A and B are shown apart, each in its own frame.
Chain A
Amino acid sequence: MESNREILVCGEVADGKMTTTTRELLSMGRRLGDGLHQSLNALVIGKDLQEVAKEAILFGADKVYSVDSASLLEFHPDYYTTIMGKVCQQIVPSIILLGQTDMGRDVAPRLAAKLGIPVTLDCTELNIDPVTKEILQTKPVYGGNAMAVWVTESNQPQIVTMRPRSVMADEPDPSRKGEIIAFSVRIDDSLMKSKLLETVKEEVKGIRLEEAKVIVSGGGGIGSSDGFKLLGELAKALGGTIGVTRVPCDEGWMSVNLEIGQTGHIVGPDLYIAVGISGASQHMAGCSSSKFIVAINRDPEAHIFKEADFGVVGDYRDVLPALIFRLKELA
């Protein structure tokens, strides 16, 4: 399949607005488009997409394909795969960009298998080789311990998912103009191999991790679910929220919905305080885009100190009360 030389970003919609990740993808897509002299188009799927489509144009899309239907309000992998498949078969993009999100990581492999084209998931960087013009896809491997750079044979359509927060979203350009094309796909039960019974959103108290400016995160060193009360106090004092690594989830101390890491939330707060966390790559993958990292750990040799900007060696039960006290004083 020879490409039509356009880049397609498959966007996501949340609460009637375009997600931050989609903005990041459009910014990335714009850079690639400019570098490869290709146009950037977007595909949005959902219900009542007028505003979203306009937003996509402001963020860099030349054309926006809109598949608007009430049955598409909730994400369903079979529907999305079919729709994206039909769109891609029609327009044959050179690169299909998705976010490494619940949707992207599910649909991208299916789409790649369906179209028989190569795919690389969870990229943190996409660069254009100056000579060959091939896309250099950088992604973490070995649980984040190393980075691999993959290259696909050129002139081949390919799919790439980007890790959220690995690209800075550009500012929208209110002067941009573009085309919104309504794409109709017949949506009925025959598309559906698996039936979605329900979507359960587990109550997350307070600020969403992805939006928090301050996160106080606890790991195996906390020792018990009670220990997290202190972290909660610190988070409150700083106007932030609590996160966890894999260990407290496995131990049952805290909910798996708070897990930050390669297979959990990817966050980028202004301040990330890692308490009782060893600093294993699997976790660092989730928080490395934080602006400042503070490490509090009993073990002076803990790997986290190699990742942090500031650190204190000590038992969190001794460190946190004093820290909270002084921070309140300084506030």
Chain B
Amino acid sequence: MNPAFARYGDIPGLVILYGLFIVVLGFFVYRAYRLYGFLRLGGKEDRFDHLGKRTILFFIWVLGEWCTLRSVSRKDRAGIGHFIMFWTFILFFIHYGYLFTWGAWHDSRLFNLANPFSVIFLSVLDFLALLSIVAVVWALIRRYIRKPERLETNLEPAMILILVFLLMVTHLVGEALNVNLLRETSGSVIRVAFAHAFDGLSQSALTTSYIIIWWVHLLIFLGFMVYIPYSKHLHILTALFNVFFRSVRPKGALIPINIETADRLGVEKIEEFNWKQLLDLYACAECGRCQVSCPAFLSGKALSPQELIKNLRIHLIEKGMSKGKPTLQLIGDTISEEKIWDCLTCYACQEQCPVCNEHIDKIMELRRNLVMVRNKIPETAERALRTTMMRGDPWTGALHLRTDWSEGQKIKKLSKAEHGEILYWVGCTGALDERSMKMTLAFAQLMIQASISFGILGAEESCCGDPARRMGQELIFQAQVQRNIETLKRYHVKKIVTICPHCYNTLRNEYPQFGGEFEVVHHTEFVAALITGGKLSPSIGVKKKVTYHDPCYLGRYHGIYKAPRAILSSIPELQFVEMKGNKRESFCCGGGGGHMWLEENTGKRVNVMRTEEAIETGADIVVTACPFCLQMFEDGIRKKHLQESIEVMDITELLQKAI
């Protein structure tokens, strides 16, 4: 029977049904419309490119629930629960869809029993509902009793979980009652089984109970529907779009500013973000994964990526609703300057985010405004920018010239003729920092040994611009880019190998934004290829225990995990052990995002935290593949006074020992 057909007093059930539905829909649509309106305050952004790629990713991430399944591990199995609840919701969505259209006028179940699909559908529906009950109970216990770090224990998640629980329970109870009413003996096994619980009830009791449960279930559902756009559960709609419109740019390429046409530098007001950046704010499900993987947050700094997104959302909605009346300042009130500087651009947050939020872009835009419009920049960073402007490198007080490391070595300058020579791009740190110079030389020596024809730019190399861009000074960055592209084109450069993952990222992913297209390889990839190609054969055993630190700009940004490990495994007698946070979950050394030139004034030092992880492995040598990481570990080990027991080496320095 269909309770919608009954009459309640003088009012037909259908009127109540549709009446309620329209009211709720009204609330929902009104709120959704307002939220959409706030989105439209944002600027333009083309996310309609690569439609094929987007569709495929959408299927895998959403329908395949890869968004949360990918982070399932021994410690965190929430992805499984989410998978269950997602598909439960999809099926119930179809179920309700039917209910409010065809089902309102006919049998209140999707298909009748005669249709074989209905059995399958209803069985799956009930099974998922049952699983969902288990998942919800598990989720409640986990969140409120076990209390894992990344989950908040406030009221909103509890409300959502309880609502889902009640929905599932009323569904199963209702359908069980209905089975008895209709006297069905076959069909969905679960409801038939539950029906036995109500065997003793009379027909009228069954009918009354069923009608009550049916309406209760409906009301809970409708209530839930209104609640969605007022809670984090909005993500069930917005995340779909957010995942579809995700970034398909290379991860490390920040958005360029067009100097000719720019009417703003960075973002000062919330509406200066583009619509996709604002959509992120709605898509956030407050899962906390970004926060518990953020090195700034974990080291006690003010910044929390989760709080950032949440506060921006609150600010957007407040501003949208204020209708022109003065509201809080974005920079200063909603997000403090300190937080804007805390970000290391390590990408851990974005890597973990199941709804494809882009935290880094937002922080970068705010930083740009701080630096280029308000001129508020910490002194040490300002000095680095100044020296970049005046001398072409960020290392104020450097005691070396770019040509020093190669003096007396058989290393030649790149020739201008088109010889197909590979350019060895050294980078500022590799050329000017005492410790890093050893790494620079080691790689050069390996290439010489492998008879690779390469050249350097020597004094004509100028900072790739990564520090300037990450510090928010887009203009100094672009000046550096123009200068370098001009030099590279003058030398007819086609292929570049570099030892620095930051130079690697900028030359490979950001220079094309300005007309500089080059084939760029990182030295780990290059060396791994030399080994597999037989040009380098590590034969001397190195009887040490080593661990490897995945640099953020090499690992998370470019997925280069295998090459360095392949190099290490080619060294005889070497014992390798992974750190607690490795590959995708590598913990930043503390040097990215301009932080080589920023002081840490609160909390624990990021590099010391990572050094502690390395020390925990019991390794004799910490191996890395980035000049920033190299310095950060050297400093970390000195701070722990363990210079005598642990060494830090670049992977090429270690490999040299084996050749």
Indicate yes or no for A touching B, C-beta below 8 A.
Answer: yes
Query: Which positions in A face B, CB cutoff 8 Å?
Result: 220, 251, 278, 299, 301-303
B417 proximal to A (CB < 8 A):
no
* Cross-chain contact A301 with B397 (CB below 8 angstroms): no
A278–B396 CA distance with the chains assembled, in angstroms: 13
10 contacts between A and B (CB under 8 A): A220-B397, A251-B379, A278-B397, A278-B399, A299-B399, A299-B434, A301-B399, A301-B434, A302-B399, A303-B399
Chain B 100-122, CB within 8 Å of chain A: the 1/0 string? Answer: 00000000000000000000000
Assembled-state Cα–Cα distance A220/B398 (Å): 13
In the bound complex, residues from chain B placing their C-beta under 8 Å from that of A251 are 379
Q: Which chain B residues border A303 with CB–CB below 8 Å?
A: 399
Smallest CB-CB A-B distances: 4 pairs: A301-B399, A301-B434, A220-B397, A278-B397
Q: How far is the CA of A220 from the CA of B397 in the complex (A)?
A: 10
Distance in angstroms between the alpha carbons of A220 and B399 in the assembled complex: 14
Report A-chain residues with C-beta under 8 Å of the C-beta of B397.
220, 278
Question: Which chain B positions have C-beta within 8 A of A301?
Answer: 399, 434
Q: Cα distance A278–B434 when bound, in Å? A: 15
- CB nearest neighbor in B for A252: B379
Which residue of B is nearest A220, CB measured?
A: B397
* Interface membership of chain B positions 424-443, coded 1 if the CB is closer than 8 angstroms to chain A and 0 otherwise: 00000000001000000000
- Chain A hits for B399, CB < 8 A: 278, 299, 301-303
Q: A251-B379, A299-B399, A301-B399 are in contact. List 4 more A-B contacts (CB 8 A).
A: A220-B397, A278-B397, A278-B399, A302-B399
Question: Which residue of chain A is the closest to B379 with respect to CB atoms?
Answer: A251
A278 to B399, CA, bound (A): 9
* Chain B residues within an 8 Å CB radius of A278: 397, 399
Chain B contacts to A: CB under 8 angstroms:
379, 397, 399, 434
Q: Which residues of A contact B379 (CB under 8 A)?
A: 251
Nearest CB in chain B to that of A298: its residue: B638
A301 to B435, CA, bound (A): 12
Complex-state Cα separation, A252 to B161, whole angstroms = 56
Considering only CB atoms, which chain B residue lies closest to A315 in the complex?
B638
Bound-state CA distance A184–B436 (Å) is 69
The distance from the CB of B439 to the nearest CB of chain A, in whole angstroms, is 17
A303 to B397, CA, bound (A): 12
| A280 to B259 Cα, complex, angstroms | 39
Residue of B nearest to A250 (CB): B379
CA–CA, A302 and B397, complex, Å: 11
B6 CB to closest chain A CB, in angstroms? 80
Contacts of A302 in B (CB 8 A): 399
- Closest beta carbon of chain B to A228's beta carbon, Å: 18
How far, in whole Å, are A278 and B379 apart by their CA atoms in the complex?
20
Closest to B383 in A: A250
**B-chain residues with CB within 8 Å of residue A299 when the two chains form the complex:** 399, 434
Rounded to whole Å, the gap between the CB of B292 and the closest CB of chain A is 33
What residue of chain A has the Cβ atom nearest to residue B396's Cβ? A220
Rounded to whole Å, the gap between the CB of B160 and the closest CB of chain A is: 50
Least CB distance from B642 to A in Å reads 15
Instruction: Specify which chain A residues have a CB less than 8 angstroms from the CB of B434 in the assembled complex.
Output: 299, 301
The CA of A266 and the CA of B26, in the complex, are separated in Å by: 82
Q: How far in angstroms is the closest Cβ of chain A from B317?
A: 42
Considering the chains assembled together, what is the distance between the CA atoms of A220 and B383 in angstroms?
Answer: 14
Distance in Å from the Cβ of B277 to the closest Cβ of chain A?
A: 38
Q: For the complex, what is the distance from the CA of A214 to the CA of B639, rounded to whole Å? A: 32
| Distance, CA A132 to CA B495, complexed state (A) | 63
A281 CB to nearest B CB, Å: 14
A212 to B397, CA, bound (A): 30
- Distance A299 CA – B434 CA, assembled complex (angstroms): 10
A303 to B434 alpha-carbon distance, docked (Å): 14
Docked complex Cα distance between A251 and B397 (Å): 14
B134 to nearest A CB, angstroms?
A: 58
Closest chain B residue to A300, Cβ basis? B434
Q: Which residue of A has the minimal Cβ distance to B400?
A: A301
Least CB distance from B378 to A in Å reads: 12
Q: Which residue of A lies closest to B380 (CB)?
A: A251
* Bound Cα distance A278, B400 (Å): 13
Bound CA span A301–B399, Å: 9
B544 to chain A minimum Cβ distance, whole angstroms, is 26
CB distance from A52 to the nearest CB of B (A): 45
CA distance A157 to B399 in the complex (A): 44
CA of A299 to CA of B397, assembled, Å: 13
Q: For residue A302, which residue of chain B has the nearest CB?
A: B399
A317 to chain B, nearest CB (A): 12
> Bound complex: CA of A220 vs CA of B379, how far in Å?
14
A103 to B524, CA, bound (A): 63
Give the Cβ gap from A321 to chain B, nearest Cβ, in Å.
Answer: 16
CB-based nearest B residue for A280:
B397
CA distance in complex: A301, B434 (Å) = 9
B400 to chain A, nearest CB (A): 9
User: Which of chain A's residues has its CB closest to B399's CB?
Assistant: A301
Task: Give Cα A27 to B269, complex, Å.
Answer: 70
Q: Cα distance A303–B399 when bound, in Å?
A: 9
Q: Chain B's nearest CB lies how many Å from the CB of A261? A: 16
- Chain B min CB distance to A153 (Å): 39
- Expressed in whole angstroms, the minimum distance between the Cβ of B377 and any Cβ of chain A is 16
In the bound complex, CA of A299 to CA of B379 (Å): 23
Cα–Cα, bound, A48→B434 (Å): 60
Least CB separation from A247: chain B residue: B397
* Least Cβ–Cβ distance between B267 and chain A, in angstroms: 32
A299 CA / B433 CA spacing, docked (Å): 12
- How close is A205's CB to chain B, nearest CB, in angstroms? 27
A302 to B434, CA, bound (A): 11
CB distance from B163 to the nearest CB of A (A): 55
Nearest-CB distance from A170 to chain B (Å)?
A: 42
Q: Considering the chains assembled together, what is the distance between the CA atoms of A251 and B379 in angstroms?
A: 9
Which B residue's beta carbon lies closest to that of A301?
B399
* Assembly CA distance A302 to B398 (angstroms): 11
Min Cβ gap A226→B in Å is 14
User: Complex Cα distance A42/B397, Å?
Assistant: 45
Cα A301 to Cα B398 in complex, Å, equals 12
**Min CB gap B436→A, angstroms:** 14
Report the minimal beta-carbon distance from B99 to chain A, rounded to whole angstroms.
Answer: 70
Shortest beta-carbon distance, B480 to chain A, in Å? 25
User: In the complex, how many angstroms separate the beta carbon of A218 from the nearest chain B beta carbon?
Assistant: 16
Measured in the bound complex, the distance between the Cα atoms of B360 and A28 in whole Å is: 67
> Which B residue's beta carbon lies closest to that of A251?
B379
The complex places the Cα of A302 from the Cα of B379 at a distance, in Å, of 24
A160 to B134, CA, bound (A): 95
> A301 vs B433: C-alpha distance in the bound complex, in angstroms?
12
Bound CA–CA A220/B396 (angstroms): 12
- A262 CA / B317 CA spacing, docked (Å): 59
Instruction: Report how far A302 CA is from B400 CA in the complex, Å.
Output: 11
Say how far B355's CB is from chain A's closest CB, in angstroms: 44
**Bound state CA distance, A302 and B399, in angstroms?**
8
Assembled-state Cα–Cα distance A289/B399 (Å) = 25
Instruction: Give bound CA distance, A303 to B379, whole Å.
Output: 25
The distance from the CB of A222 to the nearest CB of chain B, in whole angstroms, is 14
Report the minimal beta-carbon distance from B551 to chain A, rounded to whole angstroms.
Answer: 26
Question: What is the minimal beta-carbon distance from A71 to any residue of chain B, in angstroms?
Answer: 45
- Looking at the assembled complex, report how far the CB atom of B383 sits from the nearest CB atom of chain A, in whole angstroms: 10
